[in-house]
Amino acid sequence: MSAAAKPAAASPGTAGGDAVPVHVGIIMDGNGRWAAARGLPRALGHKAGAEAARRAIEAAAEAGIGWLTLFAFSSENWRRPADEVHALTGLMRLYLRSEVKTLVREGIRLRIIGERERFGPDLVRAIDAAEAATAEGRRLNLNVALSYGGRAEIVAAAKRALEQGLDPATLDEAAFGRLLSTDGMPDPDLIIRTSGEQRLSNFLLWQSAYAEFVFQDVLWPDYEARHLAEAIGEFARRERRYGVRAA
């Protein structure tokens, strides 16, 4: 596990009780199907998905979750039709321009993980500015995964280890975790995927080694605070062992 390795929400061998996960990751899935079911362009599905993300951020902050990571744009999404990619990047640009003041006011710190340079210099500057403006936020740490892929992240970390000439004898899990884009962040306690699909899709592969998974049969644009509460409730009922055998 990475540097801030073991989640603090529940101890091995104990029931979660009413524990709130420290770090929640969400694979926001179903925008396209939501739009198709309504005879709308996929771009409007993504716009509705952005509204759902806003609700989820607010709900996470209200629930006392310390870290929230949203999977917004995967490295594989670049292979989608050009008009859809254009719509997605346009939404990112709009969000960065319109929401930063709200994030600052609400005490939410924004960080972007993934290959941000692929979005071009204008969007990279907007990302850098948003991260700087929200850096003092303490209420919620919001990570947004953009042009992100778990395998690519692990490969990039391995390359850094080689470039830094790290001694293989000293390269343990904690040292490797510090080479990842999530350095300094706790590993996720809970991974949620919407739309009924049940797979990770290359999301936080290293970091999710001991995460609990909750799959919810709701399309992302329809996601409400109650759905997050249901996932947290399911998490609280789990017995987390981290590979330790129950007594």
Q: Give the residue numbers marked as catalytic.
A: 29, 77
Determine whether the annotation assigns residue 67 to a binding site.
no
Determine whether the annotation assigns residue 31 to a binding site.
yes
Token duo for residue 57: 């951020």
Determine whether the annotation assigns residue 200 to a binding site.
yes
CB atoms within 10 A of CB 209: 15
Determine whether the annotation assigns residue 220 to a binding site.
no
Distance CA 209, CA 206 (A): 6
Distance CA 224, CA 221 (A): 9
Distance CA 228, CA 109 (A): 20
Determine whether the annotation assigns residue 212 to a binding site.
yes
Determine whether the annotation assigns residue 78 to a binding site.
yes
> Cα 241 to chain center, whole Å?
23
Determine whether the annotation assigns residue 80 to a binding site.
yes
Determine whether the annotation assigns residue 237 to a binding site.
no
Q: Minimal CA–CA distance to 47: which of 11, 8, 92?
A: 92
Determine whether the annotation assigns residue 227 to a binding site.
no
Determine whether the annotation assigns residue 199 to a binding site.
yes
What b-and-e string marks burial along 26-57, b requiring 16 or more CB atoms within 10 Å of the CB? bbbbbbbbbbeeeeeebbebbbbbbebbeebb
Q: Using alpha carbons only, what angle is made at residue 152 by residues 149 and 153, rounded to the nearest 5 degrees?
A: 85
Determine whether the annotation assigns residue 233 to a binding site.
no
Q: What is the DSSP string of 50-104?
A: HHHHHHHHHHHHHHT-SEEEEEEEEGGGGGS-HHHHHHHHHHHHHHHHHHHHHHH
Determine whether the annotation assigns residue 118 to a binding site.
no
Bind-site residues for substrate: 30-34, 42, 46, 74-76, 78, 80, 193, 199-201
Q: Which segments are annotated as binding site? A: 29-34, 42, 46, 74-76, 78, 80, 193, 199-201, 212
List, as residue ranges, the binding site for Mg(2+). Answer: 29, 212
